[in-house]
Structure 1
Amino acid sequence: MFYRLSGVHHTRYEDTRRLWPIPTDRRLVAVLFLLALSAPLWLSELYLQNYLLPWLIWSAATLSLTLLMGVAGQLHFGYAAVMAIGAYSAIHLVRLGVPFELAFIGAGLVAAVIGCLFGAAALRVKGLYLVMATLAMQYLVDWVIVNVPAISGGAHATLQAPEARVLFFSFADGFTRYYFAFFWAVFMTVFLLNTKRTSFGRALVAIRDKDYAASVIGVSPFKYKLLAFFTSSFFGGMSGAVLAFCFYRAVTPEQFGFNVSTQLVAMVLVGGLGSVIGAYLGAAFVLLTPMILSNGIAALSDAGWLSVSANLLAHLPLMIYGALIIGFLLAEPLGLAKIYDNMRNYFLVWPFKHSRR
């Protein structure tokens, strides 16, 4: 069988510390990487720009939030505000003549500093109280963006992303936007996979499991909680800049409202808390499933295979979407990543199922 542990013989410690010790995992990752890398060659512009591109960007943003919620165990219901800070900061920096590469990093720094100010509440409170602190950040940032014309231009204004270049490639080209988002998602994936294996990642996990016990063994909750908020906000602000320049091309206050924050939290939870592959699965489920359901039901209705009223036709995709969420959570409360892991573990010992006992 293609998945089998009996043929894996490690003779060096370096082999056991690989990201994917099983050869089949490495082949699967290589195939997915090559497919995504060559997507502009075989995928139409419509699907590339409207489906694959936003999925990659939101997956990178979900990975940024996974570092905070899944690894460090700190709740954040104002993450859209972090991305908004990064998006607006990057646009204004580029307008001031700053090269996009520096503006990209600057957007992350601005978001990290502001995110740390509100994340400092995690030093004294946790749980629902921390949720209230991050909600305060969301509403305060929304209010500032809407009511300070120097930032957004007004409540109903649209701020256009200026023309920018990265490594001599213009963002006016769709290929440049796609590949920049693609490599940003790859970077976030590799970063999070390796973070879990570092002392920084292990300290965050210790704080997530029990911060009092972590302090007893020498892990400073003050230091690592602030580092978690700083790092997550830094990458979240950069993901907001990618969203503004590569997908939206223009930003408005409505694009970063509270509903976006809840969608990001849903991506983390539905995909699997703390899972890297769960970030991709959760982003795909929350972002793409409603569009696929709407298009599929509309196609069935146009073909005459579905005869319902117009009112039910408009609400049917949301009803099916909600039923799918409930079904997934009933089947596996730990998320879509755990469903994938269960399938993978089954094939690891197939057909010797009794060996798992």
Structure 2
Amino acid sequence: MFYRLSGTFHTNYQADRKLWKIPADRWLVLTVFALAVLAPFLVSPLYLGSYVLPWIIWSAAALSLTLLMGMAGQLHFGFAAVMAIGAYSSIHLVRAGVPFEIALLLSGIIAAVIGAVFGAAALRVKGLYLVMATLAMQYLVDWVVVNVPWISGGAHATLRTPAVSFLFMDISSLASRYWLALAWAALITVFYLNVKRTSFGRSLVAIRDKDFAAAVIGVDPFKTKLMAFFTSSFLGGVSGAILAFCYYRAVTPEQFGFNVSIQLVAMVLVGGLGSVIGSYLGAGFVLLAPIFLTNLIAGLAASGWVPVSQNFLSHLPLVIYGAMIIGFLLFEPLGLAKIYDNIRKYFLVWPFRHARS
């Protein structure tokens, strides 16, 4: 069948290094990407701006964190602070007259430098101690953003994003902002898929599995972890700038609080550590599941099928959402990506159930 792995393999390096060795996988990726590009013409502006656009941006942010947590094995509970640095830096750079394209790169570099500084301070510790160090970064950045008026304007101030253009194209429309976010998500996806095949990616995996053994074979644990923090923070800073300009269009300190860091970690864990498709699935689950559950339960309550109070109705979706996350962690710890992989492997050998892929 066209979707099966068949033929002669491992005959040349070019064929063996393909990201998708099965032709059906390549066609599937191209189809999904084509549908993503045509999304402004296929869905209404309401669904595009409320569901698809934030899903794409948060998937890019989850991929940025996956590089650090999934590939390098370093916990980070302050990634929302990294995105906040990128968001506020890009706004102030654009207001200072810096072109938007350069402001995106500079905001990523600023976030990378600050993230690497905190990462360097945290690299001597592991586990819960590393979590506490990244939490310190989250709370310190939150305090600076709130209490330094020239950054955010104050605790309750709203900082609006200026009108900008990208590569001489106006991005004031919803479709143009969506395509910019999609291009950034696609760029991170291609980067992540290819970095796993480089010496840097293999060093990250070695550090994740056992840093002492990696040091024995010549991998510098401190340098590799520092580069992981720097790279992940750079991607997160640019993702924060994209989030500010393409989705929020006005930022407040509450948009990058500790709860956002927890949501990002949940996206990575529920989707599957170290998985590209898991980042997209995890971001969609964490971001969209509460919305769909709220609408479903509200509809059932309005029709009389679920006679509950309004207070209980407002909290019930969160209860169901938390139960679903616990269920995934208990019954499929490898996340949604593993469920997708199981389904894919089933069809690779179907209808020969006795065979194993």
How does the TM-score come out when normalised to structure 2? 0.97
The worse-fitting range, judged by mean Cα deviation, of 302-311 and 120-129 is 302-311
Partner SS, residue 356 of structure 1: coil
Q: Secondary structure at the match of 1:308?
A: coil
Cα pair 2:203 2:219 within 8 Å, conserved: yes
Q: Structure 1 CA distance, aligned partners of 2:254 and 2:80?
A: 10
Secondary structure of 1:154's match?
A: coil
* TM superposition shift of 1:352: 2.1
Kept in 2, the 8 Å contact 1:171–1:245? The answer is no
Q: For residues 298 and 351 of structure 1, what CA distance do their matches in structure 2 show?
A: 42
Q: Distance in 2 between matches of 1:341 and 1:121?
A: 37
| Cα deviation, residue 351, structure 1 | 2.1
- CA offset at residue 345 of structure 1? 1.3
- Matching residue of 1:64: 64
8 Å contact kept, 1:271–1:282 = yes
Match of 1:174 in 2: 174
1:98-247 matched pairs, under 5 angstroms: 98-247=98-247
Contact 1:152 1:252 in 2 (8 A): yes
Secondary structure of 1:84's partner?
helix
Number of residues of Structure 1 aligned to a counterpart in Structure 2: 357
What SS does structure 2 have at the residue aligned with 1:18?
A: coil
Instruction: State the partner residue of 1:331.
Output: 331
Q: Which amino acid aligns with 2:112?
A: A
Q: Give how far 1:17 is off.
A: 1.1
The answer on whether the counterparts of 1:195 and 1:201 sit within 8 Å (CA) in structure 2 is yes
What do residues 193-223 of structure 1 show as CA deviations (whole Å, max 9, x unaligned)? 0010111100000011111111111111121
Identity %: 73
Larger deviation: 291-300 or 64-73?
291-300
Match of 2:84? 84
Most deviating of 314-323 and 54-63? 314-323
- Work out whether residues 70 and 273 of structure 2, in 8 Å CA contact, stay in contact via their aligned partners in 1: yes
Letter in 1 for 2:43: L
2:255 maps to 255
- Whole-angstrom distance in 1 between the partners of 2:343 and 2:42: 29
Task: List alignment gaps of at least 5 residues for structure 2.
Answer: none
The range that moved more, 253-262 or 165-174, is 165-174
The SS at the match of 2:156 is coil
Task: State the secondary structure of the residue aligned to 1:353.
Answer: coil
Distance in 1 between residues matched to 2:289 and 2:257, nearest whole Å? 21
TM-score by length of 1: 0.97
Distance in 2, matches of 1:204 and 1:11, equals: 28
Indicate how the Cα distance of structure 1 residues 172 and 131 shifts in structure 2: closer, same or farther if over 3 A, else same.
same
Q: Tell me the equivalent position of 1:292.
A: 292
Amino acid at match of 2:304: G
Contact 1:269 1:282 in 2 (8 A): yes
Q: CA RMSD in A?
A: 1.3
Q: After TM superposition, give the deviation of residue 2 of structure 1 in Å.
A: 4.3
Number of the residue aligned with 2:96: 96
In structure 1, runs of 5+ residues without a counterpart are none
